[in-house]
Amino acid sequence: WAWGGNTYGNLGDGTYVSRNTPVQVPNLININSVVVPTVQVRAFSLALDNDGIIWAWGENNSGVLGNGTTNNRITPGQVPGLFNVKKITAGGSGNVIALCEDGSVWTWGENNLGQLGDGTTTSSSTPVFVIGLTDAVQVPVGEGHTCALLGAGAVSDAGKVKCLG
């Protein structure tokens, strides 16, 4: 369910009409978490279903919806190529991070400060694998940077935090 401003279709109800009461986001079932950017630089929404699939809609500047385009979406669309995701987060500068069941980390969207961790400052409209991170257990994001907490499986880095951007 969603409500409020809907300038970019970020409520996901198939319209651009702002709502002052909740409306159901169509075609989403078995959702276990929903994420919106904590700093409203971008107007997009994400949902993670029980099968580890990410759904995205709203404003798509810098490809933050992860679907290979920069076109806005007014209804949820699947982020292709990612499966077995256990957690998603959205950065205030317009980037998204997915933590998979195997501890791998994938990022996409805005990258002007290197927050995607791929060694560039080029934004990506599709998920990119963050090289060098294995056994991540948390991936908090901030305004222009991303961090990862590594678990006990990463022997040389157990319990250490690595930051990108």
pLDDT for 154 equals 47
Give the C-alpha separation, 129 to 151, whole Å: 18
- What's the rounded mean pLDDT across residues 92-116? 89
Using CA atoms, how far residue 7 sits from 59, 72, 77, 128, in Å, is 9, 10, 18, 28
What confidence tens digit (pLDDT) does each residue in 4-24 have?
Answer: 999 999 999 999 999 999 999
Cα separation of the two ends of the chain: 33
Q: Annotate 126-144 with b (16+ C-beta within 10 A) or e (fewer).
A: ebbebeebbbbbebebeeb
DSSP state of 39: S
User: Could you tell me which residues are beta bridge partners of residue 45?
Assistant: 57
Q: Are 14 and 24 in contact (CB under 8 A)?
A: no
Neighbours of 145 (CB within 10 A): 18
Query: How much is the pTM?
Result: 0.87
pLDDT at 163 over 80: no
Confidence of residue 39 (pLDDT cuts 50, 70, 90): low
